[in-house]
Amino acid sequence: MHEFGIIQDVLVTLEKTVVLHGLKKVNKVTIQVGRLRQVVPENLQFAFSVLSENTIFSDAKLIIIEVPITVLCKACNKKTEVNDMIFVCPNCGSTDLDILNGKEIVLESIEGEGKR
């Protein structure tokens, strides 16, 4: 399960952010995860609950926003959302595509309380 590795990286960033802003409690964490990361949201939730145990994040709710795969066709210059991992431009049939979105993991927001 690569979800544990993803959550480990997210927690490192969260810890830095908590220190930077002096938070004493974190209530909610929102992350964006691209579909190309092929993660199972339930596995991310499980990894978060296990790895955040006995930390400032242990009571935090993890919100996961799935980012669709968006491509730009080099042949017809049309921007399209790709479904079902079929990388063919629906406009012209070309497979010469640039991936614009869908690979990212973004820490979108943290909601917390007070100064330490």
Cα 44–chain centre separation: 10
The string of pLDDT tens digits covering residues 72-99 is 999 999 999 988 788 999 899 999 999 9
The string of pLDDT tens digits covering residues 31-66 is 999 999 989 999 999 999 999 999 999 999 999 999
CB-based contact 35:67 (threshold 8 Å): yes
Q: Can you list the domains of the chain with their CATH numbers?
A: 3-68+102-115 (3.30.2320.50)
CA distance 90 to 82: 9
Helix axis angle, 3-21 to 41-51, nearest 10°: 50
Q: Which of 5, 35, 40, 2 is nearest to 103 (CA)?
A: 35
AA identity, residue 116: R
Model-wide pTM > 0.95: no
